[in-house]
Amino acid sequence: MSQRIALITLVVADYDEAIRFYTNKLGFRLVEDTPLSPEKRWVRVAPPGAGGAELLLARAATPAQQAAIGNQTGGRVALFLYTNDLARDHARLLAHGVRIVRPPRTEPYGQVLVFADLYGTLWDLLQPAQSV
């Protein structure tokens, strides 16, 4: 048996502003943007690099979904973005005005910082120790 997590849904307020944030500020690539109806699109973005899960950007359609935007994990870090160069990516985040919640620090598992996306969802940017 072979399985893998392919997509992770991230509820967003607006498709286009979310696409701009992830592609322009984080350097992700737009994998797919397919209209499904006048109100719904299938939008996938992914970080540069090979393999790994992609984000499915899903526009909030109900009050409960709207209330979850930016707080889908109850204030905890929601997503973990691995990098081979934390200093390079930290500089990119700063240059694009991305809010750094916790500055870079060294932990036993590697170097890490926490940033917030355009809606406040928290991300760990992590350079594993074997890459440090």
Element (H, E) at 127: strand 122-128
Return the domain boundaries, the chain: 7-131
Within 13 Å and on the Cβ side, how many CA atoms surround 29? 7
Structure tokens at 36: 């499904």
Rounded Cα distance, 117 and 101, in Å = 10
Rounded percentage of the chain residues whose pLDDT exceeds 70: 98
pTM: 0.93
pLDDT for residue 18 is more than 70: yes
Q: What is the pLDDT of residues 69-125, one digit of tens each?
A: 999 999 999 999 999 999 999 999 999 999 999 999 999 999 999 999 999 999 999
How far apart CA 119 and CA 63 sit, in angstroms, is: 16
What mean pLDDT is predicted for residues 57-68? 97
Q: In the CATH scheme, what architecture does the domain 7-131 have?
A: Roll (3.10)
Q: Are 114 and 129 in contact (CB under 8 A)?
A: no
